[in-house]
Copies of this chain bind each other. A is one copy, B any other.
């Protein structure tokens, strides 16, 4: 490394954005956060505002200006023109270019500096990706709440609501989820009260669910972990783990894995269902190992994609990231975030 470059790496999520200024040795110099930075869900201008806000905070007090910017975003944003980004970052002194990368790669590289492996993310949505030679080789699920996202927060929340609707009219077994969900929604439970043959508690559940947007069902997901040993809740968790393991298995059958038979490649898990979902992550790893009839790697849990964005901005500008550089990124970022 001849000159020390300052690079700006940004993890732009749907609800929050993280930016880090990093030098070419992997030392993180400044860190900032802002609101949602996804141009598809937020609109391009509000998304750019969030990116600039987080970046300003990251640059503050560092005396640095970025020579290059990398932004990690969700899939649908990857084919957007980069000019509006470049124009806005010029105002922060950007001399070079803006590169847009997938948030799946950023999640993967938040857990490893290796260029081959798999990532599984289960937050509000659920998606799996196989990474080969530093790029996305295969993606499975991530098809959204209407078409899939099996095992995601939305999926769990909808399963909770389905189970309670079924328990109320006798189509399904009684479950502790009923009291949890009705309490959460402020619905009184009377086993006798009916209107036109329908249990009044169920009628109110229907009204409360449909007055919100569909994706808000995801907020019921935590109830499945709050229901203790309830059999219905345990079944839902088990089904989620099975679905997520299937997603993982689907993307792991490709060439990247068979090229090194038996070699355990990094397995990166992200998203609240996997990082905060109790035994979901363990169950997924077990089912995955079973399906592959081999010893699976211990999953590496990541909280977000900011470390990976930093790894990517270095790699994409020809800077090698080895174990010591990766550790430097992690450690210096951790102290900035604490």
Contacts and interface: CB of A to CB of B under 8 A. Distances in A.
A161 B147 contact: yes
A247 B198 CA distance: 13
Contacts of A136: 196-198
Interface in A91-140: 102, 104, 129-130, 135-140
Interface string A130-173: 10000111111111101110100000001001100110011110
Give the one of A148, A162, A194 with max B CB within 10 A.
A148
A140 B162 contact: no
A205 B147 CA distance: 9
Contact of A214 (B75, B146, B165, B206): B146
A140 B169 contact: yes
A247 B165 CA distance: 12
A157 to B, nearest CB: 10
A226 interface: no
A147 B75 contact: no
A34 to B, nearest CB: 25
Contacts of A205: 143, 147
B210 A144 contact: yes
- How many protomers of this protein does the assembly include? 2
B196 A253 contact: no
Interface in A212-265: 214, 217, 246-247, 249-251, 253
Nearest to A205: B147
A202 interface: yes
Nearest to A132: B197
A253 B171 CA distance: 11
A247 B143 contact: no
A182 interface: no
A148 B160 CA distance: 11
A78 interface: yes
Contacts of A196: 75, 78, 102, 136, 139
B170 A140 contact: yes
Given A102-B196, A148-B165, A162-B147, A170 B253 contact: yes
A129 B171 CA distance: 12
A209 interface: yes
Contacts of A194: 138
Given A138-B197, A196-B75, A197-B129, A146 B158 contact: yes
Contacts of A202: 143
Contacts of A75: 196, 198
A169 B148 CA distance: 12
Given A148-B162, A197-B130, A246-B171, A206 B138 contact: no
19 contacts: A136-B196, A136-B198, A139-B169, A140-B171, A141-B171, A144-B206, A144-B209, A144-B210, A146-B210, A146-B217, A147-B165, A147-B205, A147-B206, A147-B209, A150-B171, A169-B251, A170-B250, A171-B249, A172-B246
